[in-house]
Homo-oligomer: A and B are copies of this chain.
Amino acid sequence: MPIELTASQALGLWYGVSLNQVRMDERDLTLRQMAILLHIYLVPPPHTVRGLAAELNVTKPVITRALDTMGELGLVDRIRDERDRRNVVIKRTVGGALYLEKLGDRVREQGRRLSP
């Protein structure tokens, strides 16, 4: 069930959500951090640093640092993979789920406000 948007609606939607996010300023994630967080929550696990780096086309330290930051914010969690102790498995958290739930609400709300 695809969604058909006009150019004006598409930008209006992006604007509304961005503005809302900036004004509230709860936590200010980078676009990269946002993409990482969404990937973790929308794509089936498991997720590793290397996998995320390849998926987003960025270097590994970028992922490590993003996980550091978002870990402190309680949005994600890291645990070592006991089956292959070189790997780190990235886990979801309640805080992360709540954060994205609010983001989703914001997107839906802005979608509802759209004019044709």
Contacts and interface: CB of A to CB of B under 8 A. Distances in A.
Interface of A is mostly: helix
Interface string A6-34: 11111111110111011101001111101
Interface in A11-61: 11-15, 17-19, 21-23, 25, 28-32, 34-35, 38-39, 41-42, 56-58
Contact of A107 (B14, B31, B32, B112): B14
Interface residues of A, number: 49
A98 to B, nearest CB: 13
| Complex copy number for this chain | 2
A12 B116 contact: no
A73 interface: no
Interface of A: 1-15, 17-19, 21-23, 25, 28-32, 34-35, 38-39, 41-42, 56-58, 100-101, 103-105, 107-108, 111-116
